[in-house]
Amino acid sequence: MVGPRLYHYLDVPGQHTLEVYERNGGYQALKKALSMDRATLVDQVKAAAIRGRGGAGFPMGNKWGTIPPGSTTIYITCNADESEPGTCSNREVLERDPHQLIESMIICAYALEHVRTCYIYIRGEYRLGAERLNQAIQDARAQGYLGDNIMGTGFNLDIWVFRGAGAYICGEETALIESIEGKRGQPRLRPPYFPTVMGITNKPTVVNNVETIINIIPVVLYGADGYKAYGTEKSPGTKLYCMSGHIKKPGVYEAPFTVTLRQLIWDFAGGMLNDRKFKTLIPGGASFQWFTEEQLDTVMGFDEVRAAGSNLGSTGIMVMDETTCVVDAALNLVHFFAHESCGKCTPCREGTRWLEQIIWRIEHGQGRAGEVDQLLDITDNMDGKCFCLLGESAIVPVRSSISLFREEWDHHVTHKNCMVQRDYRMSSTAQPH
């Protein structure tokens, strides 16, 4: 594949350094962008329809369009919190090609004109990524790509790296903003706090995922039409698919949005581990509906996955084979949400813990008659009542696995053991309280 590839140089030794990055064409897009009229640049981004890679798929150009006209202080914040289970594509960019993100953010800031400060909110555990970003910022500044009077244009910009402390909720954009402001990372009520209207210190703030932002480089270099030569009409460009679970070659693979799940598993990731039978997968990280064999030919674009009943999310594709116990898998995921619930709202704080306690009992042969239905009842009581999407996400693995594999859940309750021959338990054996 030629053209708008984001991962093109990722394997080149030293790509994280300014010298190698520039040798491979780095900062050429910035030079081109700075020579362009701002309105043309914004039009190109809108025409390219870059879909947000952080979960919702909202087009970047449309988000820019929601900034109140006449705003004189705008912040751009890169969401590099990347904590969705099974998702690790941002990390590759942060550690191995940090200048790509820096260059992209400078272009975005230039296009929006009234941006003087950008933040990169990076997941606390990404120590190497933070180090490399800080070095890249320092080197870009020394080279005149950042700071005052960037490349003689009179445009001034600084980028700051903000390290999170490892909370999943801080990936939610309003909690992220609270955290940057030095407060406890908990979500804000929307409306009125839509970030592009009232973000950091109540100023318009554009929050975008790492992968969304770096897509601006191919748009500048090849134009909106060149960019749209890949992918589908509504999901243009390429995507970094994170493949994990029972596959031979787990990893991050770049492919156009036209790729199918079957291709990703068998052509990219080498097929099922130990050639076992495929059972189920989650296409977009922990928060979304599970698929079975019937959906393997789904094209992995935003609208196609939604039409098939799930969501592309962060494309954290977790593949499970025939030896997987779905109760065990659901417990593992619900434990994550219960642990990460920020505690702000009752349905999420209490609901996730209650779900985890019941599933733990079912998984450990202590399930009582009627508890599978009780789980569904709890999810009904959480649905639409949580303050943010964390609680809404926590119910998905429960509902999804019960609707697809009810027999296995009932077997656990009735026979106090598991229907499948499994090699290991993926959830913790410690009883939640």
Ligand X SMILES: Cc1cc2nc3c(=O)[nH]c(=O)nc-3n(C[C@H](O)[C@H](O)[C@H](O)COP(=O)(O)O)c2cc1C
Using CB under 6 A, list all residues that contact ligand X: 52-56, 58, 79, 81-84, 168-169, 171-173, 207-209, 212, 388-390
Q: Least CB distance from residue 88 to ligand X, whole Å?
A: 11
Question: What is the 8-class DSSP label of residue 149?
Answer: S
* Cβ atoms of 216 and 108 closer than 8 Å: yes
At 177, the amino acid letter reads I
Angle, nearest 10°, between helix axes 127-142 and 98-112?
60
Give CA–CA dist 124/95, Å, rounded.
14
Nearest Cα to 87, choosing from 205, 231, 251?
Answer: 251
Q: Least CB distance from residue 158 to ligand X, whole Å?
A: 21
Q: Least CB distance from residue 201 to ligand X, whole Å?
A: 19
Question: Cβ-count burial of 411 within 10 angstroms (0-12 exposed, 13-18 middle, 19+ buried)?
Answer: middle
Cα end-to-end span (Å), the chain? 52
> Based on CB atoms, which residue is closest to ligand X, 29 or 348?
348
> Based on CB atoms, which residue is closest to ligand X, 14 or 65?
65
Q: Least CB distance from residue 90 to ligand X, whole Å?
A: 7
* Residues whose CB is less than 8 angstroms from the CB of residue 37 and which lie 6 or more positions away in sequence, other chains included: none
Angle, nearest 10°, between helix axes 326-340 and 396-415?
130
Q: Least CB distance from residue 414 to ligand X, whole Å?
A: 35
Q: Least CB distance from residue 284 to ligand X, whole Å?
A: 12
Q: Residue 368: helix, strand or coil by DSSP?
A: coil
Question: What is the 8-class DSSP label of residue 147?
Answer: B
* Cβ atoms of 402 and 409 closer than 8 Å: yes
> Based on CB atoms, which residue is closest to ligand X, 88 or 265?
88
173-206 burial code (b ≥16 CB/10 A, e <16): bbbbbbbbeeeebbbbeeeebbbbbbbbeebbbb
Task: Establish how many alpha carbons lie within 13 A of residue 7's alpha carbon, considering only the half-sphere containing its beta carbon.
Answer: 17
Q: Least CB distance from residue 109 to ligand X, whole Å?
A: 15
Q: How many residues does the chain have?
A: 433
> Based on CB atoms, which residue is closest to ligand X, 79 or 205?
79
Q: Checking DSSP bridges between strand 158-163 and strand 316-321, what pairing results, if any?
A: unpaired
Q: Least CB distance from residue 24 to ligand X, whole Å?
A: 25
* Cβ atoms of 251 and 318 closer than 8 Å: no
Closest CB to ligand X belongs to which residue? Answer: 171
> Based on CB atoms, which residue is closest to ligand X, 18 or 111?
111
> Based on CB atoms, which residue is closest to ligand X, 389 or 420?
389
> Based on CB atoms, which residue is closest to ligand X, 41 or 175?
175
> Based on CB atoms, which residue is closest to ligand X, 81 or 92?
81
The reply to whether omega before 85 is within 30° of 0 (cis) is no
Q: Least CB distance from residue 309 to ligand X, whole Å?
A: 20
* Cβ atoms of 210 and 101 closer than 8 Å: yes
Nearest Cα to 302, choosing from 314, 290, 320?
Answer: 314
> Based on CB atoms, which residue is closest to ligand X, 55 or 98?
55
> Based on CB atoms, which residue is closest to ligand X, 302 or 354?
302
Token pair for residue 69?
């006209």
Q: Least CB distance from residue 287 to ligand X, whole Å?
A: 8
Question: What is the 8-class DSSP label of residue 121?
Answer: E
> Based on CB atoms, which residue is closest to ligand X, 56 or 419?
56
* Cβ atoms of 253 and 268 closer than 8 Å: yes
Kindly report the number of other CB atoms within 10 A of residue 108's CB atom.
24
Q: Least CB distance from residue 259 to ligand X, whole Å?
A: 20
